[in-house]
Amino acid sequence: MKQKIILILFLLSPLCFASKQSNKIKEVFPNYTKLIELDILDPISENPINIKIKKVIKEKKILGFVRYIETTTGCNSSCLPLSFSLFYDSRGNFTKLYSADGLTKINHAQFTDKDYSDLEFILLFPSKVFDSVGHPKEMTDAISGATLKKFSGTVVKGAAYSTLRIHLYNQQTIKFIKSLKR
């Protein structure tokens, strides 16, 4: 019986996530009339599942885009999965990040309002320091797990891996949107 309940909850969780995300689309784009799903590559995850992006339309005008992401931090450790949505204006500029389940930092601490604000700032003004990272673990001390000084001003404190992964998806999505023919 317990296994059946767990299975049902697991199967229903994407539906709850989709419903919460739909409500957020209405909040960010209150006048939209249609969503058009587009295919997008996912070169970031080992198992690419983030292969859709939604074009948000009002009548025939593009209002913006939204991309739902379900991924890991890429560190293959005990980090919780990342589940978030990225919102963009019609030109492909990042406007907002939303996470229905909430993002977490080291030791599974929930992001604070300041952390979300810092993350959005990082996404709006990306640092070139991320270009040198081949693997998330290159951002932290191998013994203590502390973020290396080189990265400390460019990541959410206690969330270097998450910041990097979200940054990578954001940059890849912006590049895709800007490549679209309007």
Domain membership flag for residue 110: yes
Domain with 40, as residue range(s), is 18-179
Domain membership flag for residue 11: no
- Classify 133 as helix, strand or coil: coil
Residue, of 79 and 62, whose pLDDT is higher: 62
As a 3-state breakdown, the chain gives helix, strand, coil percent values, each rounded to 5, of: 40, 25, 35
Query: Is pLDDT above 90 for 122?
Result: yes
Name, in order, each residue with C-beta under 8 angstroms of 118's C-beta and a sequence gap of 6 or more.
Answer: 156, 157
Radius of gyration of the chain (CA): 17
Separation between Cα atoms, residue 162 and residue 80, nearest integer Å: 10
Domain membership flag for residue 12: no
Domain membership flag for residue 105: yes
Name, in order, each residue with C-beta under 8 angstroms of 105's C-beta and a sequence gap of 6 or more.
Answer: 111, 115, 156, 157, 158, 159, 162
Query: Is pLDDT above 50 for 2?
Result: no
Domain membership flag for residue 24: yes
Residue, of 62 and 145, whose pLDDT is higher: 62
pLDDT tens for 145-170 read 788 899 988 999 988 889 999 999 99
Query: Is pLDDT above 50 for 17?
Result: no
Domain membership flag for residue 54: yes
The angle formed by the CA atoms of residues 76, 115 and 25, to the nearest 5 degrees, is 90
- Classify 55 as helix, strand or coil: strand
Total structural domains in the chain?
A: 1
- Residue 3 pLDDT class (50, 70, 90 cuts): very low
Query: Is pLDDT above 90 for 28?
Result: yes
Separation between Cα atoms, residue 132 and residue 176, nearest integer Å: 21
Q: What pLDDT is attached to residue 108?
A: 85
pLDDT tens for 125-141 read 999 999 989 888 888 88
Q: Is 92 left (phi over 0), alpha (psi -120 to 50) or beta?
A: left
Domain membership flag for residue 37: yes
Across 4-14, average pLDDT: 43
- Classify 155 as helix, strand or coil: coil
Q: What percent of the chain has pLDDT over 90?
A: 59
pTM of the predicted structure, to 2 decimals: 0.85
Domain membership flag for residue 132: yes
Structure tokens at 23: 């409500």
